[in-house]
Amino acid sequence: MLTLIKGGRVVDPGNLDGIMDILIDDDRIIEVVPSGKSGKSGSGLLKRRTLDRILDASGMIVAPGLIDMHVHLREPGQEYKETIETGTLAAACGGFTAVCAMPNTMPVNDNRQITEYILKRSREAGNAKVYPVAAISKDLEGTSLCEYGDLKEAGAIALSDDGNPVSNSRMMRRAMEYARGFGLPIISHCEVKELSAGGVMNEGAVATRMGLAGIPNAAE
């Protein structure tokens, strides 16, 4: 099937940003040229075949699949909020072909069984690709490190305690040294809970005027 996506704003990491036409043969992009020039250069495929489908992308952005680095898929344990199937379907419908799933599931993704379960369920759903982010510490409590080698082998691509900071500097240093040995990046939630406790907005004149507890910049 020969498909032409015409007149969309093509944004691509390869320093491409402009109004373009995209020619697709089955599932392969064969030509990306300034709008109106499809078939006049490059493959010349349009000179030999007729188009099966034309999609007018005027006023739209056409881009490679986006990646969401921080999602909460809630499964296992909180399926009443969202499941891996519904979460990845919503991602795909919004143009996100891959997501990084945070470990704040119930139970926490701090062991290989949960990591493997998340990957299995994502394959069954068949929507966006899921990259599991496992916990830095057991139960996200910041007191005991997980088995990073086991998690990496199971398919985890990074480590994070999600919205919980690892407050103990010694523990965080150990985590970073341990993770480096397995090539696992750490995604840290930088917050001093003692400074942000009770705050609902940025600390400043507006917070004072509204009578609301502020969170100082120093909390991060």
Give me the CATH number covering residue 43.
Answer: 2.30.40.10
CATH code, domain with 71: 3.20.20.140
In eight-state DSSP terms, residue 65 is P
Task: For 8-39, write each residue's pLDDT tens digit.
Answer: 999 998 889 999 999 999 989 998 888 877 65
Task: For 35-92, write each residue's pLDDT tens digit.
Answer: 877 655 545 555 656 888 999 999 999 999 999 999 999 999 999 999 999 999 999 9
The whole domain housing 18 covers 2-62
* Cβ neighbours, 10 Å, residue 165: 18
Distance CA 35, CA 179 (A): 47
Distance, CA of 72 to chain centre = 10
Cβ atoms of 51 and 2 closer than 8 Å = yes
134 lies in some domain:
yes
Instruction: Say if residue 138 is in the same domain as residue 153.
Output: yes
Instruction: Say if residue 114 is in the same domain as residue 131.
Output: yes
Instruction: Say if residue 79 is in the same domain as residue 171.
Output: yes
51 lies in some domain:
yes
Band of pLDDT at residue 127, cut at 50, 70 and 90: very high
